């Protein structure tokens, strides 16, 4: 199995992970107003761009809009909360939950989309295959020898995991997990990390 030749470490890596997790909606607070999982403010919203199947940065956070984009799926609404702050979530599902679409604090726009299923209705091909990476892919497969991925250790609810920016896609965060006896808050060595696998895929406009 090939291994990446380098990995950004130290404070810079921690800041990368904090910003990736915050941008991806892995915060412990309101995703729209939100303190991130690291307890720091997320970066300023980026300009609308990129796409996740039919979802783009211009897609409103609306159950009716998602139903029109995924006519074969069920779209349900629910509210989640963390640290006492509620935020809206739309769930796209058929036989299984496929997408968790999180709204901004005011519920006007899409903050992030977590990809849970190995495929999604009306994408034609499997959603994850269209992204070039799937849950279960190993770190070494995603980041082959000669690459220097932007990664950092997860914090708080993501402690013990590692967040990385996906190759060639600033809109997609990959969260890796795997066995390691080292302390939380530190990146595992490459010989450990290379066998870890993708546990979560989180897209942000």
- What radius of gyration do the chain's Cα atoms show? 17
- Bridge-partner residues for 56, per DSSP? 51
Q: Which CATH class is domain 10-41+50-181+194-203?
A: mainly beta
Q: What is the pLDDT of residue 26?
A: 52
**Contact by Cβ (8 Å): 146, 5:** yes
Residue 48 has what pLDDT?
Answer: 36
Query: H-helix or E-strand containing 139?
Result: helix 139-142
Cα 72 to chain centroid distance, Å, stands at: 24
Domain boundaries, the chain: 10-41+50-181+194-203
* 37 CB neighbour count, 10 Å cutoff: 26
pTM: 0.73
Residue 24 has a pLDDT of 52
What pLDDT is stored for residue 178 in this prediction? 96
User: CA-CA distance, 4 to 145, in Å (whole number)?
Assistant: 4
Mean pLDDT by 10 residues, the chain (205 residues): 52 54 49 32 36 87 93 88 80 83 85 74 48 87 86 83 88 92 88 92 90
């Amino acid at each position: 199995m090939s291994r990446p030749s380098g990995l950004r470490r130290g404070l810079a890596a921690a800041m990368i992970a904090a910003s990736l997790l915050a941008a991806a909606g892995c915060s412990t607070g309101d995703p729209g107003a939100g303190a991130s999982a690291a307890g720091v403010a997320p970066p300023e919203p980026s300009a609308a761009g990129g796409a996740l199947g039919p979802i783009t940065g211009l897609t409103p956070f609306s159950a009716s809009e998602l139903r029109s984009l995924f006519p074969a799926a069920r779209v349900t609404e629910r509210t989640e909360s963390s640290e006492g702050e509620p935020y809206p979530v739309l769930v796209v599902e058929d036989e299984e939950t496929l997408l968790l679409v999180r709204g901004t604090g005011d519920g006007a726009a899409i903050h992030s989309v977590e990809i849970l299923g190995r495929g999604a209705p009306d994408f034609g091909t499997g959603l994850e295959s269209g992204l070039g990476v799937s849950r279960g892919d190993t770190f070494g497969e995603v980041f082959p020898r000669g690459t220097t991925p932007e990664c950092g250790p997860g914090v708080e609810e993501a402690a013990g995991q590692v967040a990385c920016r996906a190759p060639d896609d600033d809109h997609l965060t990959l969260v890796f997990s795997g066995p390691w006896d080292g302390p939380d808050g530190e990146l595992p060595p490459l010989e450990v990390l290379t066998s870890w696998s993708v546990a979560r895929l989180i897209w942000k406009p």
